[in-house]
Amino acid sequence: MKRTVVTGFVGTVLDYVGKGNQRWEKWRPTVGLCQQEDLVVHRLELLHDARSRGLFERLRRDIAQVSPETEVVSVEIALRDPWDFEEVYAALLDYARGYTFDTEAEDYLIHITTGTHVAQICWFLLAEARYLPARLAQTSPPRKKEPGDVSGSVAIIDLDLSRYDRIASRFARERDETVSFLKSGIATRNASFNRMIEQIERVAVRSKAPMLFCGPTGAGKSFLARRVYEMKKARHQLAGHFVEVNCATLRGDSAMSALFGHVKGAFTGAQAERAGLLRSADGGLLFLDEIGELGLDEQAMLLKAIEEKRFFPVGSDREVESDFQLIAGTVRDLQQWVAEGRFREDLYARINLWTYALPGLADRSEDLEPNLEFELARYAREHGSQVRFNLEARRAYLKFATSADAQWRGNFRELSASVTRMATLADTGRIDLEQVEEEVGRLRRSWSSPADHALTALLGDAAEALDLFDRMQLENVIAVCRAAGSLSDSGRRLFAVSRQEKAKVNDADRLRKYLARFGLTWEQLREAA
């Protein structure tokens, strides 16, 4: 059976009984620990400074009376200030590192009732980090209804959280709920996107450092930045406002004023003082979308504001302060812009600590269905009208939306507009196949290039039946034929490489046969040009 070893501080207040007292009639936590019927303390190591030697000796004598089997050991340490966290932690860490633990033969407890609150925190941290392979013991005074009892009670706390299934499962559930909040409750199926959101959640909760969201227009950078703000505010990590600005809208002298504010009379037209967006974001979150569009002067001032939380408003000789968290967004390759001298390297280094590339909708086709449900729910909230697809229409829309033909250049913003159009035109709250076909045609036209129009003009509805590979190849062939002077010239341009291997093959004949596969002739291409 293992021996029980307890370590703790001499309680200079709670363990003290007064000079000359041969008996004690009050609860003393260290003595009470050794009076427990269901806990036998084989060795008690008491930490104290030189001033508490007398109290330690008194405790050793008193414990010998109530628990003669307990060996009481003095551990004298030098503590100038028991409320200095750094000093106490260093002293206890040195103690832990110098101790020879025998976990096979001994069971270790740390008595946390005595000592300052700083000492209690340090004990906890050292035990939780396993510098001390010990559980925590907390003694409590006896209840008033038990007169004459001076032993009190003791509770043993094991910091191995893996043993607390309910705590662990609750922590996991709350984290899952937070990640779901960042995704607006959308059950995304893209594994890499889910991993990214999970990391953004951890970083947002634990850090105040800037974050950089990269990705195409409409990928959700602004939306995600606002969700990060709402999450941090709900956790009382931010108290100020969410301030959003598209830097592409800031031009010339007005950019400085909009960001950093100005004093009255700073320039022509400055008839009143302006706080500026950075000061409006004090205590909150500032989202600078399209940060790459800022001028180099604005970038320099922004860097100072991020690092020092201070800056000069336009026309002022006095600095102002603003403590904000920054999230930046961009569609640009800022690393390339740094190389070209269009973006400051020092600012890029400062905002590049946590960089996340938000994928476009076309790269997350498996997430299109849950986002479709989200957009329908949003339409219902905003318009007070519930709209649903009928089964056939839903299948047709998803088939097109997840196909290679669906380009989604505007990403989630474009999907939202598409759903809004269909929902608005739906009769009796149902989107039918006719409305889906009309919307698919509208999307195809919006994404089509001049070459697409030419192909449709030549083939009519048959163009829609072509695979993407065949369509792209045929579009390029048509472009070459229209630029060439003759059928033979077109053939020579199109087959310049393979002609070297097939010297006897007629280029014009090869081209004529290729076009015939689609029911076309070279003359038709020239006439339609």
Which amino acid is located at 37 in the chain?
E
Same domain, 276 and 347: yes
Q: What is the CATH number of the domain that holds 60?
A: 3.40.50.10770
Separation CA 388–CA 184 (nearest Å): 20
Specify the pLDDT at position 307.
94
Asked whether the beta carbons of 374 and 404 are under 8 A apart, the reply is no
Same domain, 454 and 439: no
Kindly state the average pLDDT of the residues 96-105.
90
* Burial classification of residue 488, based on how many CB atoms lie within 10 Å of its CB (0-12 exposed, 13-18 middle, 19 or more buried): middle
Same domain, 128 and 25: yes
Q: Where does a domain end: 337, 357, 377?
A: 357
Domain assignment present for 164: no
Kindly state the average pLDDT of the residues 30-55.
93
| Helix intervals (H) in 448-521 | 450-459, 468-483, 487-494, 507-516
More confidently predicted of 63 and 267:
63
Specify the pLDDT at position 476.
86
Same domain, 10 and 122: yes
Domain assignment present for 165: no
pLDDT digits (tens, 9 = 90+) for 321-369: 999 999 999 999 999 999 999 999 999 999 999 999 999 988 988 999 9
Domain assignment present for 317: yes
Same domain, 345 and 412: no
Same domain, 238 and 351: yes
Q: How many domains does the chain have?
A: 4
Domain assignment present for 145: yes
Same domain, 126 and 189: no
> Where does the pLDDT of residue 528 fall: very low under 50, low under 70, confident under 90, or very high at 90 and above?
low
Specify the pLDDT at position 45.
95
Q: What is the CATH number of the domain that holds 187?
A: 3.40.50.300
Q: Where does a domain end: 405, 432, 447?
A: 447
Kindly state the average pLDDT of the residues 483-489.
85
For 410, the token pair is 């505007």
**What are phi and psi for residue 144, nearest 5 degrees?**
-65, -25
More confidently predicted of 460 and 306:
306
For 456, the token pair is 């449709």
Q: What is the CATH number of the domain that holds 409?
A: 1.10.8.60
Same domain, 134 and 209: no
Domain assignment present for 405: yes
The overall longest dimension of the chain from CA atoms, in Å, is: 123
Same domain, 284 and 327: yes
DSSP string, 135-178: EEEEEEPPPTTSTT----EEEEE---GGG-HHHHHHHHHHHHHH
Asked whether the beta carbons of 269 and 353 are under 8 A apart, the reply is no
Same domain, 237 and 316: yes
Same domain, 352 and 441: no
Exposure string (b/e) for 53-66, b if CB count within 10 Å is 16 or more? eebbebbbebbeee
For 435, the token pair is 């409305």
Which amino acid is located at 282 in the chain?
D
Q: Which of 15-19, 112-116, 335-339 has the lowest mean pLDDT?
A: 15-19
Domain assignment present for 286: yes
More confidently predicted of 505 and 223:
223
Q: Where does a domain end: 308, 336, 357?
A: 357
Range of the domain at 393: 361-447
Kindly state the average pLDDT of the residues 467-478.
83
Exposure string (b/e) for 463-483, b if CB count within 10 Å is 16 or more? beebeeeebeebbebbeebee
Specify the pLDDT at position 160.
64
pLDDT digits (tens, 9 = 90+) for 151-197: 788 899 877 655 555 655 666 677 778 888 888 878 888 899 999 99
Q: Is the pLDDT of residue 488 over 80?
A: yes
Domain assignment present for 467: yes
Signed CA dihedral, 169, 190, 334, 280: sign only: negative
Asked whether the beta carbons of 15 and 114 are under 8 A apart, the reply is yes
Q: What is the mean pLDDT of the chain?
A: 87
Same domain, 126 and 221: no
Domain assignment present for 29: yes
